[in-house]
Every structure is written in structure tokens, then in C-alpha cells.
């Protein structure tokens, strides 16, 4: 399919507000502790329920969407090596949040090796480069949104003071790659301004939408795994998408769907209270153990 140049839809970009760019969280925060909330508190394994939605959000920026869909780096292809891609992406999140400066630097260099191969061809209508810091900032912002949304669905909506504390350590989601510290919005309010403005560039064409449909239909895994999980993945993905992304993906979401989504997380959040933190966060710490082993033995990190 021939790529075409993209411009934001002026009808939705004129004045985007939070009700268009974020999902709603109806329940207020239920604190387990009086200490400030940190990004590390969002590492529950439930957080990855919105992983596919985050891919949709990231790829809704044309430079990212075409960069992923057209990438020639087969070893990191989501559609050809889904389990490896899942491991490397979640490991990136673990090292960005839990790692030392040295571990982040090692992972940055490993990712850079793959990113050097990801750039548009000369004359392409949609130009992209994996080293574009503005595109990386968008991806990092999507990752932050994913953590904030899942945390609030599990624990309730944070007030402004809690949200600021949660946001404070989030810049490493971008600075673990090429995003500079001064590019990352300094406060939570400034992040909201950035996010609403950046969402003006959200647009999905048939080419990228087709790639995402393959993802949501789990066409990259065996049929016997696809059948039991496909409908659940689609439901969770659409539920985690703000209205502007649902519209671009051209999916329907009814009031009844929203009630089922909210009720699901009321149940999950109740169950979550009885699961020890070391179990809920164990996956991220296991990924860090694997990363440190790979660094020590000088094995490939991605």
C-alpha cells in the first residue's frame, strides 16, 4: 500500500481537552500508605493489561506508526517475534524505572543498534527516524499515560499532589533513550499541556490501522492461543484508549462496554489488595535479574 502524507484532522485538533485525550477514572484514590506515590508503585503485573492499547497510542503518531510497520529489523518485529518483543519492551520499562544509570546506558546502546536501521526511505511520504527525539518523547509520554491509567484503575484517581509525586521520577521513560531531561515536561500540569497538544498529531491511515488490526486479532501467535484471548485483548485495548484513539482506530465503545470495563477493574482492584507486593511486582524484578545476568555475561540485551 502506498504511504500518504498525513496532516492532523482539524476538526479534532482545534482544542483537544482531557475528556478527549484521556480515559475517565471515576473512583477516588484509596491509599494503602501515607508516603508519596511513586512510579515504582505502578509495576503491578496488571499494568500490562493495557500494553496493546499503548502500542495503538504510540503508532497513532504517523512517524512511529510507519517506523514500526515498515521496520526491517526482523529480530525485533512484533508480528514475527512477539514473545521476544514483549520481553525486550517490558525489560526496557523495568530498567527505565528500576535500573541504575549504568544499566540504563547499557540498554540504551543495545536499543540504539536496532534503531540505527529504522528510518524512512529517501522520498518517502511519511518520514521517520528512530533517533527522532520528538517521536521518542511521544512514545515515552504514551508509556507514562499507560502507567498512570492502570495505577488509577487499580487504586483510584489521584489528587493533584499525589499525581505530582507520581510524575516526579517519570522522565527516565524517555531519557533512557535520546530524550533529554529538559525536553520532559517539568511538572504534571505541563505534561497535560504537552499531551493535549501532541494528540493533535494523532492520525491513523488504512496502512497502520491494518497493522494494528492484525495485532488486536493476535495474528502473530498460534490459533490455539488466539481463540481464547482475542476477544479479551480487544476489549481491554479499546477500554484503555481515550476517545480520540478509538475514533482513529474506528472501533465502537458503548456505555455498556464502559460499565463492564469499570466493573472488571473494581473486581481486579479488590483482588489486588490481597496479593503481596513482591508477587505483583515480581515480573519487573525478574526482568532486572535477567538484564544484570546478560550484562555480566556480555550477552545481547535485546
Which pLDDT score is estimated for 4? 38
- Give the SS3 label for residue 129: strand
Which pLDDT score is estimated for 6? 43
Which pLDDT score is estimated for 141? 98
- Give the SS3 label for residue 119: strand
**Distance in angstroms (rounded) separating the CA atoms of residues 78 and 30:** 36
Taken in order 85, 94, 114, 205, is the CA torsion positive or negative? positive
**Distance in angstroms (rounded) separating the CA atoms of residues 296 and 103:** 11
Which pLDDT score is estimated for 236? 96
Mean pLDDT by 10 residues, the chain (302 residues): 40 71 86 80 91 96 94 77 88 96 96 92 91 97 97 92 94 96 97 97 96 88 77 95 97 96 93 93 96 94 86
Which pLDDT score is estimated for 32? 64
Q: Residue 27 in contact with residue 151, Cβ under 8 Å? A: no
**Distance in angstroms (rounded) separating the CA atoms of residues 281 and 65:** 30
Domain ranges of the chain: 31-296
Which pLDDT score is estimated for 10? 41
- Give the SS3 label for residue 28: strand
Cα 13 to chain centroid, rounded: 22
Q: What residues contact residue 250 under an 8 Å CB cut-off, 6+ apart? A: 209
Which pTM was predicted?
A: 0.91
Amino acid at each position: 500500500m502506498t504511504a500518504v502524507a498525513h496532516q492532523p484532522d482539524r476538526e479534532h485538533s482545534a482544542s483537544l481537552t482531557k475528556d478527549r485525550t484521556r480515559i475517565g477514572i471515576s473512583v477516588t484514590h484509596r491509599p494503602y500508605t501515607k508516603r508519596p506515590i511513586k512510579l515504582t508503585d505502578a509495576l503491578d503485573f496488571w499494568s500490562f493489561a493495557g500494553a496493546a492499547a499503548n502500542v495503538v497510542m504510540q503508532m497513532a503518531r504517523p512517524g512511529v506508526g510507519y517506523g514500526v510497520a515498515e521496520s526491517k529489523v526482523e529480530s525485533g518485529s512484533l508480528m514475527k517475534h512477539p514473545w521476544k518483543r514483549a520481553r525486550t519492551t517490558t525489560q526496557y520499562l523495568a530498567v527505565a524505572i528500576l535500573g541504575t544509570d549504568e544499566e540504563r546506558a547499557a540498554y540504551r546502546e543495545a536499543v540504539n543498534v536496532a534503531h540505527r536501521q529504522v528510518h524512512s526511505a529517501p522520498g518517502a511520504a511519511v518520514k521517520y527516524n528512530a533517533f527522532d527525539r520528538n517521536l521518542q518523547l511521544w512514545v515515552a509520554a504514551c508509556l507514562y499515560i499507560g502507567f498512570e491509567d492502570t495505577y488509577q484503575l487499580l487504586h483510584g484517581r489521584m489528587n493533584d499532589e499525589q499525581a505530582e509525586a507520581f510524575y516526579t521520577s517519570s522522565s527516565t521513560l524517555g531519557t533512557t533513550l535520546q530524550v533529554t531531561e529538559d525536553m520532559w515536561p517539568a511538572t504534571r500540569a505541563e505534561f497535560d499541556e504537552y499531551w493535549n497538544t501532541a494528540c493533535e498529531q494523532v492520525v491513523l491511515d488504512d496502512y497502520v490501522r491494518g497493522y494494528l488490526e492484525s495485532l488486536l486479532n493476535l495474528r502473530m501467535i498460534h490459533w490455539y492461543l488466539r481463540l481464547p484471548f482475542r476477544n479479551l485483548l480487544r476489549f481491554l485495548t479499546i477500554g484503555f484508549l481515550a476517545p480520540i484513539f478509538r475514533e482513529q482506530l474506528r472501533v465502537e465503545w458503548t456505555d455498556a462496554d464502559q460499565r463492564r470495563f469499570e466493573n472488571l477493574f473494581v473486581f481486579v482492584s479488590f483482588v489486588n489488595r490481597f496479593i503481596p507486593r513482591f508477587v505483583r511486582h515480581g515480573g519487573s524484578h525478574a526482568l532486572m535479574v535477567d538484564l544484570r545476568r546478560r550484562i555480566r555475561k556480555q550477552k545481547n540485551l535485546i
